[in-house]
Structure 1
C-alpha cells in the first residue's frame, strides 16, 4: 500500500464531523485540522442519497481521515462548505497513492 506523499498535501482544512440534528440545528464534533490537497473545480457527483449534485471543491487527504456526509469543512480560503461524500481510494497494492477524496458542496 502506497500512501499519498505528505509533500503533496500542501493545504490545511478544518473538518467538523457531522453528528446529527438537534432542536436547535445541526450538531458537529470537535474541529480537527487536516493536511490536504484542495482542488477547487466544479463537477457533478452523486451524493450518498443517490442524487446528482454539484461539487465545487474536492479535498484529497491521507488514508484514515473521516468526514461523514454533511460535515462542515473550512477551506484555506476561509470558505465554509459541506461534505457531499468521502471516498476511500485504495489501489489494492498497485503503485498508486492511497488517499481519501472528500467531495464538497
Structure 2
C-alpha cells in the first residue's frame, strides 16, 4: 500500500465518529482532534448510505484506514461543523498508486 505523502495533508480536522442512534437521538464518539487531512470546498452530488442523491459542499482526503463512518460530525479548518455523507476508501492493491480515504461532507 502506498499512501499519499504526509505533506499533502496540510489541514487539521476534528472527527466525532458516528455510533448510531440511542434513546435520545444520534450518538457520536469522543472527538478525535488534529486529524491530518486535505480539505476542498467543491459542490458536487453524491449518494448517501440509503442511496439518495445529496449535495456535498466539502470533501476531506485523509490517510488510508481513517475511522469516519457516514454520519460522523466533522469540524473543518474554518470552524464549520458538518456531517460525513459518504466515505470512500481509494485503494489500488499491487499497483503502487497512492491510496487515501475520501469523505464527502454536507
Please say whether Structure 1 and Structure 2 have the same fold, judged by a TM-score greater than 0.5: yes
Please report how far the alpha carbon of residue 82 of structure 1 lies from its aligned counterpart in structure 2 after TM superposition: 0.4
The answer to whether structure 1 residue 68 and structure 2 residue 69 are counterparts is yes
Number of the residue aligned with 2:10: 10
Query: Alignment partner of 1:45: what SS?
Result: strand
String of CA shifts for 1:32-68, please: whole Å, max 9, x gaps.
1210000111000111111111000000000111111
Number of the residue aligned with 2:31: 31
Please report how far the alpha carbon of residue 24 of structure 1 lies from its aligned counterpart in structure 2 after TM superposition: 2.5
Distance in 2, matches of 1:30 and 1:93, equals: 35
Number of the residue aligned with 2:79: 78
Structure-1-length-normalised TM-score: 0.94
**How many residues were matched structurally?**
105
Superposed CA RMSD in Å reads 1.0
Query: Alignment partner of 1:7: what SS?
Result: helix
Unpaired segments ≥5 residues, structure 1: none
Distance in 2, matches of 1:35 and 1:5, equals: 11
Structure-2-length-normalised TM-score: 0.93
